[in-house]
């Protein structure tokens, strides 16, 4: 199982390296954009679930503030799955580190959660190397009576108006590893101080999935595909829309999301 993600990374490097197009310097992700001081966002997610199960819903509200050399954001989430509702709060910090590198730290709380982690911690470091960006990550999630630890590595590169990325993650489980890969490609189609784009992402492998209330977890073979559009109406206001399909082993989901954000 361990050889598979290494092969995937090597194959991705070979494919990207063979591209002769000009590249751009890696930009800090949208969530860490530093030009505006404030950003507020709202989003609604809906998924139709197979097997006659109750559909999933999620409501999200975000408030973000630029700080010296970074960004901090607070997110409130209300989620409904398996006919059970949970709430939680997430705090994100994006911060410049050394010589072109930056980091992302995310902490989530939901002490009474049944369908999401009670606590979670994610740490990511992005390091530019020439035209490439390398990623290393760790994520820990605590559910009722069970912990999940996940490690990962990724590659990204700009090629003209295209942004190409790949990521492999691995989570140790009893007598096995849950290893999965994902690749994505983003095309920017409108450049201003803000950037509109179309983003396509897909992945497959084995992952630890929530398959029922009371934090019922299962290591299953999974696959997903998503299409996301972000379009700026003005330099300070944008709409987002997502369509997606996910096969989570014992269940599958078809759905999407609509969102809006403003910044000033």
Q: Which single residue is written with the structure tokens 């934090």? A: 215
Terminus-to-terminus CA distance in the chain, angstroms?
A: 47
Domains of the chain: 3-263 (2.40.160.40)
Yes or no: say if 202 and 182 are a contact pair by the CB < 8 Å rule.
yes
What is the per-residue pLDDT for 239?
97
HSE (side-chain half, CA atoms, 13 Å) at 195: 16
Backbone angles phi, psi at 8, to 5 degrees: -60, -45
User: DSSP character for 101?
Assistant: -
Helix or strand or coil: residue 28? coil
2-10 contacts at long range (C-beta below 8 A, 24 or more positions apart): 2/170, 2/177, 2/179, 4/179, 5/153, 5/168, 5/170, 5/179, 5/181, 8/166, 8/168, 8/181, 9/153, 9/155, 9/166, 9/168
Burial classification of residue 169, based on how many CB atoms lie within 10 Å of its CB (0-12 exposed, 13-18 middle, 19 or more buried): buried
**Is the entire prediction scored with pTM above 0.85?**
no
Q: In the chain, count H helices and then E strands.
A: 1, 14
What is the per-residue pLDDT for 82?
86
Q: Spell out the residues 6+ positions from residue 237 whose beta carbon is closer than 8 angstroms to its own.
A: 260, 261, 262, 263
Burial classification of residue 10, based on how many CB atoms lie within 10 Å of its CB (0-12 exposed, 13-18 middle, 19 or more buried): exposed
What is the per-residue pLDDT for 145?
76
What is the per-residue pLDDT for 74?
98
Q: What is the pLDDT of residues 32-75, one digit of tens each?
A: 444 789 999 999 999 999 988 899 999 999 999 999 999 999 99
Name the stretches of the chain with pLDDT < 50. Answer: 1-34
Q: For the chain, what's the residue count?
A: 264
Q: What is the pLDDT of residues 148-169, one digit of tens each?
A: 999 999 999 999 999 999 999 9
What is the per-residue pLDDT for 227?
99
What is the per-residue pLDDT for 69?
93
């Amino acid at each position: 199982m361990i050889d598979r993600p290494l092969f995937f990374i090597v194959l991705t490097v070979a494919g990207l390296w063979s591209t002769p197009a000009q590249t751009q310097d890696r930009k800090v992700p949208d969530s860490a954009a530093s030009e505006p001081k404030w950003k507020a966002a709202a989003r609604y997610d809906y998924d139709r679930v197979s097997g006659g199960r109750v559909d999933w819903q999620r409501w999200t509200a975000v408030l973000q503030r630029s700080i010296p050399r970074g960004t901090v954001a607070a997110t409130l989430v209300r989620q409904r799955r398996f006919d059970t509702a949970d709430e939680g709060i997430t705090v994100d910090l994006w911060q410049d580190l050394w010589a072109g590198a930056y980091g992302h730290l995310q902490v989530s709380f939901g002490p009474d959660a049944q369908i999401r982690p009670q606590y979670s911690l994610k740490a990511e470091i992005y390091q530019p190397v020439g035209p490439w960006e390398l990623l290393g990550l760790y994520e820990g999630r605590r559910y009722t009576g069970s912990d999940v630890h996940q490690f990962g590595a990724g590659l990204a590169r700009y090629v003209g108006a295209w942004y190409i990325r790949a990521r492999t993650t691995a989570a140790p489980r009893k007598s096995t590893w849950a290893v999965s890969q994902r690749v994505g490609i983003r095309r920017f189609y409108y450049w201003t101080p803000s950037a509109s784009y179309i983003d396509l992402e897909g992945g497959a492998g084995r992952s630890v999935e929530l398959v029922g209330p009371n934090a019922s977890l299962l290591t299953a073979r999974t696959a997903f595909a998503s299409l996301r559009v972000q379009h700026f109406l003005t330099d300070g206001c944008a709409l987002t829309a997502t369509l997606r399909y996910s096969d989570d082993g014992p269940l599958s989901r078809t759905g999407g999301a609509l969102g809006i954000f403003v910044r000033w």
